[in-house]
Structure 1
Amino acid sequence: MIQIPDNLLCLFSAGVTEQRNSYVIEIPDSEIATGNLQEGEVYHVALLETKSTPDEDITQRREVGIPEPPVEENETRTVDIGDIGEQGDGVARVERGYVIIVPDTEKGERVTIEITDVKETVAFAEVIEREDYYL
């Protein structure tokens, strides 16, 4: 069992990826949106190795109160594209600020999507229907 200190600002699972000769831990947008963390600030980070299975990870997340992604693969929903990401893809936000990346969309567009891939902090989707613009 992990001891959780009182001054812990956030707790999440993330992989470590290599980007441009550095290693990156992706912080979920929801941690900034809820005000737990502030962009540009410096924080102490602890990394804990895990040998758990995905099912065990879900159980551990529930034990410490970390919510599961609010979407599931193959789910269909209508979303508004609120931003365009660095790669030019549309960005929609749903419950708790959870991010869905939707290629081939424009800011302000309303689309019906099918979720194709769900990660802990982000999901990816394809457009199955475009709504009339309502800008």
Structure 2
Amino acid sequence: MFGSNNSNDRGSSSPIKEGGEYDVKIEDTGRDGDGIARIEGFVVFVSGAKVGDEVKIRINSTRRNFAFAEVVE
């Protein structure tokens, strides 16, 4: 429909930014052993983190539906 702004596509409007630092709790483990955290429902894979860890992370790269991060010491 022309002139419609009714789009469900989030595009690149993720709640996180590459290079940003966030305090998260690791909730799950991914297939490759990475920890999984969620920021406003957005999935973040955290290398070297384990379930139950509460850590500060830095976002390395973002994709449409998920991101990769590392623990900041």
**TM-score, with length taken from structure 2:** 0.84
| Higher Rg | 1
* Number of equivalences: 69
2:59 is the counterpart of 1:109: no
Partners in 2 of 1:71 and 1:111 — Cα distance?
Answer: 16
Q: Which runs of 5+ in 1 are unaligned?
A: 3-61, 130-135
Moved over 2 A (4+): none
In the TM superposition, residue 66 of structure 1 has moved relative to its aligned partner by 2.9
Report what 2:43 is aligned to: 99
Q: What letter is aligned with 1:117?
A: S
Structure with greater proportional helix content? 1
State the identity %: 38
Instruction: Give the alignment of 1:116-127 within 5 angstroms.
Output: 116-127=60-71
Structure scoring higher RCO (CA < 8 A, sep ≥ 6) equals 2
Alignment root-mean-square deviation, CA? 1.9
Structure with greater proportional strand content? 2
